[in-house]
Chains A and B, each alone.
Chain A
Amino acid sequence: MGDSQTKIRVLIAKAGLDGHDRGAKVVARALRDAGMEVIYTGLRQTPEMITEAALQEDVQVVGLSILSGAHMTLVPKVIKMLQTQGLTNVKLFLGGIIPDEDKSELTKLGVDGIFGPGTSTQLIIEDIRKACQ
């Protein structure tokens, strides 16, 4: 008590219109159990909502779960909006169904990590910790 304490704060959002949030919830739970503070936004978030939540919650990390195939539309928008808001330090991770051929372009745009199906939660935790050092 009384000492300063800093926690890694992560926003987990379901971007776009698909309603499958099982994966997002598994990741949110794993990060919680790793001692992080996870803000869960729920389904059907627009890039505007995600950016606004990232700003209001002052998170270091945004994790987007996208299974709809709309990642090449949504992700560039989120990145641009985060920059416009001055949130240039926020790390962006993706989960869900992201085809291999899109990965290099997304990384070029500034995505810090992409976790496909079967990724261990331990790896996600470690990568987020590394990114926040």
Chain B
Amino acid sequence: MPVTRSQAVLNGERLALTRTLSQVENNTPEGNQILEELFPHTGNAHLIGVTGAPGTGKSTLVNQLVFHYRHPPEETKLPTVAVVAVDPSSPFSGGALLGDRVRMQDLAGDPGVFVRSMASRGSLGGLASTTAGLVQVFDAAGFDIILIETVGAGQAEVEIASLAHTTIVVEAPGLGDEIQTFKAGILEIADILVVNKADKPGADNALRALRNMLSLAQPEKGVVMHHGKTMSVEQAPANNAESDQKWVPPVLPTTATNGDGVAELIEQITAHQQHLKTSGGWILREQARLKNEVGNLLQEALHKHWNSSIPPADYEKVLDQVVCRQISPRRAVEKLIKGAGL
């Protein structure tokens, strides 16, 4: 009996793996069929997200992380590592320049590492719509650790938190004052905060600002320094149902260009994984992760179904009515949904 494509992926054949990744990325029927067959074999990898603003050094840090995983200080079982690196697609041409590999030269020639670049193809949350699918393929193929690098993210690209088990948010010195750290969004999703380029001036300020932000956000610690004195603060009631709420995100300095601080970062990643496993947070995150994926796919499928059941001419007609201010956009949506028989 010939080996099927999905069996070849499970056997770790690289050519089958790379072709499958393309099928899944292109959302082809064949790709979806293989995903179907691979799904029961997923759920073993530790998914680590790396996000942060453009130019903070995410790719260089990922390069160092993978290198450290593959060259541990003492003899341990070497984990295999996959990297999914997402870069933005052009909103005008649809093309993309995927340059994350430039920073990952140290990983060349290592058969335990697989680096795949992908373009965001119009998705806005920092990932591509098929990134979760690619991660599942790597997971089924037996990679122990999967690093997912998002597009350079600003403040609101937080989709990675619903895909990864452990989310690392990378900052760099000089990206803004303390007020930036109070804003909602990307800093909230961090399980681990990294100030990269720690050899640059201003790194201490960035570290301090982030630690201050966290000490206010984690009132259960209860004690803060004020005018040189320690003061206890009344505890705010917990409003987070997730049972891993007691994990306080560490703030770590790294210099990814020479590897300083990367060993400590790996220690924290491992500690976070263990924390999730012992606190039950792992299962909660798995549930949230899969729920999110089903939700996304459902939305996509509904949109597709709607798209195919409404004649394009009707759509144009309703749009024209909105442009002429005859009906409001909300009324137009009502009409369009009724017109599609949904």
CB distance from B108 to the nearest CB of A (A): 5
B224 at the interface (CB under 8 A from A): no
Contacts of B31 in A (CB 8 A): 4
Query: A residues touching B (Cβ–Cβ < 8 Å)?
Result: 1-7, 9, 28-29, 31-42, 46, 48-49, 52-53, 55-58, 85-87
Mostly, the B contact residues are: mixed
- The segment out of B38-46, B110-118, B179-187, B248-256 that lies at the interface is B110-118
Query: B residues touching A (Cβ–Cβ < 8 Å)?
Result: 14-15, 18-19, 21-22, 26-29, 31, 89-90, 92-99, 101-102, 105, 108-109, 114-117, 119, 121-122, 129, 300-301, 303-304
Docked pose: A29 CA to B300 CA in angstroms: 31
Asked whether, in the complex, the Cβ of B97 is within 8 Å of the Cβ of A40, the reply is yes
Contact of B101 among A9, A31, A33, A42 (CB under 8 A): A42
Q: Which of A35, A37, A41 has the most CB of B within 10 A?
A: A37
Docked pose: A62 CA to B292 CA in angstroms: 37
CB distance from A110 to the nearest CB of B (A): 19
Contact of A35 among B15, B22, B93 (CB under 8 A): B93
Contacts of B114 in A (CB 8 A): 56
Asked whether, in the complex, the Cβ of A3 is within 8 Å of the Cβ of B96, the reply is no
Docked pose: A42 CA to B114 CA in angstroms: 18
Contact of B98 among A3, A6, A40 (CB under 8 A): A40
Contact of B90 among A33, A40, A52, A85 (CB under 8 A): A33
* Given A5-B27, A40-B101: A32 and B300 interface contact (C-beta under 8 Å): no
Contacts of A85 in B (CB 8 A): 14-15
Contacts of B94 in A (CB 8 A): 7, 35
Q: Which of B95, B101, B109, B300 has the most CB of A within 10 A?
A: B95
Contacts of A34 in B (CB 8 A): 93, 95
Asked whether, in the complex, the Cβ of B19 is within 8 Å of the Cβ of A3, the reply is no
Docked pose: A29 CA to B92 CA in angstroms: 13
